[in-house]
């Protein structure tokens, strides 16, 4: 693990809050409302990773299924069947 010392610093407030420096937010691709996951690694280092994923980044992962397209009325019928148990 490469560590760049003195890359960015933050100050903890009396309420336990920090402002994440812009270069770190940019590096992690963070924006307002994103959630972070904190983990303590062996040796005491704290790892921070974005918890939320922008659904647009998943677009390339999902492949369109070949086959019949479903209309809105087909979806409505399926929802009604599911709600009534029939």
pLDDT bin (cut points 50, 70, 90) of residue 29 is confident
Q: Has residue 25 been placed in a domain?
A: yes
pLDDT at 80 over 90: no
Cβ burial, residue 53 (10 Å; 0-12/13-18/19+): exposed
Q: Has residue 30 been placed in a domain?
A: yes
> What's the domain range around 2?
1-55
Q: Has residue 50 been placed in a domain?
A: yes
Q: Residue 10 sits in a domain of what CATH number?
A: 2.10.260.10
Q: Has residue 18 been placed in a domain?
A: yes
- pTM over 0.75? The answer is no
Work out how many domains the chain is built from and give that number. Answer: 1
Q: Has residue 69 been placed in a domain?
A: no
């Amino acid at each position: 693990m490469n560590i760049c010392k003195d890359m960015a610093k933050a100050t903890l407030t009396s309420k336990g809050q920090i402002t994440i420096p812009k270069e770190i937010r940019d590096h992690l691709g963070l924006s307002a409302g994103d959630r972070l996951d904190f983990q303590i690694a062996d040796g005491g280092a704290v790892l921070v990773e974005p918890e939320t994923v922008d659904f647009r980044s998943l677009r390339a992962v999902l492949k369109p299924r070949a086959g019949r397209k479903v209309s809105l009325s087909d979806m409505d019928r399926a929802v009604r069947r599911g709600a009534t148990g029939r």
